[in-house]
A and B are shown apart, each in its own frame.
Chain A
Amino acid sequence: MTDPQVTEKYVGKRIKRNEDPRLLTGQALFVDDVDLPDMLHAAFLRSDFAHARVQSIDVSAARARPGVVAVFTAEDMGDFWRPGPLIVPPPSKVEGIVFNARTQIPMVKDKIHHIGDPLAVVIAETRYIAEDALEDIFVDYEPLDAVVDLEEALKPDAPLVHDDLGSNLAAHVVQQKGDFEAARGEADVVVKRRIVIDRGAAAALENRGVVADWDPRSQQLTVWDTTQAPIPIRNGIAAMLGLSEHQVRVIAPFIGGGFGPKIMMSQPEEVLVPWAATKLNRPVKWIEDRRENFIGTTQEREQIHDVEMALTRDGRILGVRDVFLHDTGAYDPYGLTVPLNTQSHALGAYDVPNYYTEFKVVFTNKMIVTPVRGAGRPQGIFIIERMLDLAAKELGLDRAEIRRRNFIPPDAFPYSHVVIDQAFAELIFDSGNYEPALDKALAMIGYDQFIKEEQPRLRAEGQCVGLGIVSFVETTGVGPYEGARVTIEASGKVSVVTGVGTQGQGHFTSFAQVAADQLGVDVGEVRVVTGDTAQFHWGTGTFASRGAVVAGNAVNAAASNVRAKVLRLASKVLDAPEEELELENGQVRVADIPEQSISLGELAVLANPLRGAVEPGTEPGLESTDYFGPKTCATAFGVVSMIVEVDPETMLVDIKRLVIAHDCGTVLNPMIVEGQIHGGMSLGIGNSFYEKLAYDENGQLLNASFMDYLLPRSTDMPPQIEIGHLETPSPLNPMGSKGVGEAGAIPVPAAFAQAVEDALVDYNVEILETPLSPNRLFEILQAARQADEP
Chain B
Amino acid sequence: MKPPPFKYYAPTTTDEALALLAQYGYDAKVLAGGQSLIPTMNFRLAQPSVLVDLNHIPELFYIEPDKNGGVLVGAMTRESQVEHASLIAERAPLVHETMPHIAHPQIRNRGTFGGCMAHADPAAELPAVSVALDARFRIRGQTGERWVPADEFFIGFFTTALQPDELLVEVALPPTPQRCGWSFQEVSRRHGDYALVGIAALVTLDDHDRCNQARIVFLSVGDGPVEAHQAAKVLRGQSPTPEAISAAAEAAAGADVDPSSDIHATADYRRHLVKVLTRRALGQAFGRAGFKNDE
Contacts and interface: CB of A to CB of B under 8 A. Distances in A.
B191 A291 contact: no
Contacts of B1: 131, 289-291
A710 interface: yes
A322 to B, nearest CB: 30
Max chain A C-beta neighbours (<10 A), residue from B2, B5, B194, B196: B2
A228 to B, nearest CB: 25
Contact of A131 (B2, B189, B194, B272): B2
Contact of B43 (A127, A291, A702, A713): A291
B263 A713 contact: no
Interface residues of A, number: 30
A715 B266 CA distance: 24
A65 B194 CA distance: 39
Contacts of A716: 190-191
Given A132-B4, A650-B273, A775 B190 contact: no
A713 B4 contact: no
A708 interface: yes
Given A702-B263, A775-B269, A713 B276 contact: no
Contact of A690 (B44, B189, B191, B273): B189
Interface string A763-776: 00000000001110
B193 interface: yes
A649 interface: yes
A694 B44 CA distance: 22
Interface residues of B, number: 24
Nearest to A712: B190
Interface in B160-196: 187, 189-194, 196
Contacts of B269: 651, 774-775, 778-779
A690 B2 contact: no
A650 B278 CA distance: 12
Contacts of A702: 263
Nearest to B185: A650
A595 B2 CA distance: 66
Contacts of B43: 291, 705
A715 B276 contact: no
Interface in A127-150: 127-128, 131-132, 135
Nearest to B42: A289
Contacts of A650: 187, 273, 276
A713 B190 contact: yes
Contacts of B196: 774
Contacts of A712: 190
A132 B2 CA distance: 9
Contacts of A132: 4-5
B3 to A, nearest CB: 8
Interface in B1-60: 1-5, 43-44
A652 interface: yes
B263 A715 contact: no
Contacts of A715: 190-191
B190 A127 contact: no
B146 interface: no
B263 A710 contact: no
Contact of A775 (B192, B193, B266): B266
Contact of B264 (A128, A131, A775): A775
B85 interface: no
B119 to A, nearest CB: 15
Contact of B265 (A652, A690, A694, A775): A775
A703 interface: yes
A708 B265 CA distance: 12
B2 A774 contact: no
A290 to B, nearest CB: 7
B2 A127 contact: yes
Contacts of A291: 1, 43
Interface in A281-334: 289-291
Interface string A746-786: 00000000000000000000000000011100110010000
A779 B270 CA distance: 12
Contacts of A135: 44
Contacts of B272: 778
Nearest to B188: A652
A131 B3 CA distance: 9
A580 to B, nearest CB: 63
B268 to A, nearest CB: 8
Which of A710, A715, A774 gathers most chain B CB within 10 Å? A774
Contact of A774 (B3, B4, B5, B189): B189
A710 B266 contact: no
Nearest to A716: B190
A703 B262 CA distance: 11
Looking at A651, A716, A779, the one whose CB has the most chain B CB atoms below 10 A away is A651
A713 B264 contact: no
A196 to B, nearest CB: 17
Interface string A669-709: 00000000000000000000010001000000011010110
Contacts of B193: 710
Contacts of B192: 713
Contacts of A131: 1-2, 44
A713 B191 contact: yes
A782 B4 CA distance: 47
B107 to A, nearest CB: 12
Contacts of B44: 131, 135
B189 A708 contact: no
A115 to B, nearest CB: 16
A705 B56 CA distance: 31
Given A291-B43, A778-B269, A690 B190 contact: yes
A220 to B, nearest CB: 31
Contacts of A651: 269
A785 to B, nearest CB: 12
A712 B191 CA distance: 10
B259 to A, nearest CB: 12
A779 B272 CA distance: 11
B265 to A, nearest CB: 5
4 residue pairs, one from A and one from B, having the closest CB atoms: A715-B191, A128-B2, A289-B1, A649-B276
14 contacts: A291-B1, A650-B276, A652-B187, A690-B189, A705-B43, A707-B194, A710-B193, A712-B190, A713-B190, A715-B190, A773-B189, A774-B196, A775-B264, A775-B265
Interface of A: 127-128, 131-132, 135, 289-291, 649-652, 690, 694, 702-703, 705, 707-708, 710, 712-713, 715-716, 773-775, 778-779, 782
Given A289-B1, A291-B1, 14 more contacts: A128-B3, A135-B44, A291-B43, A651-B269, A694-B263, A703-B263, A710-B193, A712-B190, A715-B190, A716-B191, A774-B187, A774-B269, A775-B265, A778-B268
